[in-house]
Amino acid sequence: MLILSIDTSGQSGGITLAEADTGGFRVIESATIAGGTFSAQLIPTLAALLKKHGYVAKDIGGFAAASGPGSFTGLRVGLSAIKGLAETLHRPIATVSLLEAMATLVDHQGTIAAAMDAGRKEVFLGVFEQSGQEAARVLLMQREELLTQENFLAALAALAIEEPVWLVTSDAALAELAAQTSCAVNVVARPGSEVIARIGAGKLLAGETVAVEALDANYLRRSDAEIFFKGKSFLQGKP
C-alpha cells in the first residue's frame, strides 16, 4: 500500500510517501514545508514527490493525518487537503495524535506521559500504556488533557503513585518542569511526517480508520481570544 502522510501541525510541516504491508514499512521519501507556506506549497510539493517516484494520485492507497495538537491554521490546511484527496479517491484515512507519536519514541513498558507546551502556562498531556516488544508493541491511549502547569505536575504525581512513569516531551522547558516529579524524563525530537506515516500505516492495515466527514483535529488555539479543546477518553490499539 502506498501511504501519504501529512503533518502541518507545527511551525514547519512535512509530507511523507511510504510503502507498507503485512511484511513491513518503508519510507520512500519525505519533503519539508516551511511554516507560513502550507497553503501555497502543500499540493505542489506533493505533486512533485509523486512525479519524482513515478506515481500519480490514484496510486495512493491510504492517508495518515497528524491530527494535533497544533495551530488552527496549520492543521486546517493539512486536514483539508487530506479530506479533499480521500473523498475524491475513495481512500481510507488514519489519524495520529502528536502525543501518541511522541509516546512511541520511548522504549518503556508501562505508563508513558507525553507532553507538549500549549502556551499561556498550559500543557497538553497524553497518558498511554505501552506493552509488548518491537513489532508486537501495543500502545493504548487513556486520555488527552489540556492542563495548567500546576495541574500537569499534580497529574504526573498522581500517575506515579501506582507505578513508575516515563515523561516524554520535545520541549526543554517542560522537561525541566517535570524534573520536579519522580518521573523519568525523556527529551525527544518533535515527531514529524515519517513517524506519523509509520503509525498511520499500522492503523490503515488494521482497519482503524475514520470517515472523511468525521476527520477532525485537536486545536490548541483558534485565536488569541478563544481556546478550543475537545477532551477525549478512549482506547486505541497500535499494531
Residues 67-77: tens digit of each pLDDT = 989 878 888 89
Is residue 163 included in any domain, yes or no?
yes
Is residue 237 included in any domain, yes or no?
no
Q: Do 54 and 90 fall within a single domain? A: yes
Instruction: For residue 125, give the amino acid letter.
Output: L
As given in the structure block, the three cell numbers for residue 51 are 512525479
- In this prediction, residue 136 has a pLDDT band, given cuts at 50, 70 and 90, of low
Domain assignment of residue 69, given as a range: 2-97+191-221
Q: Do 54 and 168 fall within a single domain? A: no
Q: What is the pTM of this model?
A: 0.86
Total structural domains within the chain: 2
Burial of 233 (0-12, 13-18, 19+ CB in 10 A): exposed
Is residue 236 included in any domain, yes or no?
no
Q: Do 149 and 85 fall within a single domain? A: no
pLDDT attached to residue 98 = 95
Is residue 13 included in any domain, yes or no?
yes
Q: Do 158 and 110 fall within a single domain? A: yes
What CATH number has the domain bearing residue 89? 3.30.420.40
Residue whose entry in the numeric block shows the C-alpha cell 496549520:
74
Q: Beta strand 13-21 with 93-96: parallel, antiparallel or unpaired?
A: unpaired
Is residue 228 included in any domain, yes or no?
no
| 60-66 β-sheet, strand order | 24-33, 13-21, 2-7, 60-66, 93-96
| Tens of pLDDT, residues 142-185 | 888 899 999 999 999 999 888 888 999 999 999 999 999 999 99
Q: Do 145 and 161 fall within a single domain? A: yes
Q: Do 43 and 156 fall within a single domain? A: no
Is residue 198 included in any domain, yes or no?
yes
Q: Do 28 and 115 fall within a single domain? A: no
Q: Do 90 and 200 fall within a single domain? A: yes
Q: Do 90 and 196 fall within a single domain? A: yes
Q: Do 150 and 172 fall within a single domain? A: yes
Q: Do 10 and 93 fall within a single domain? A: yes
Q: Do 112 and 153 fall within a single domain? A: yes
Is residue 149 included in any domain, yes or no?
yes
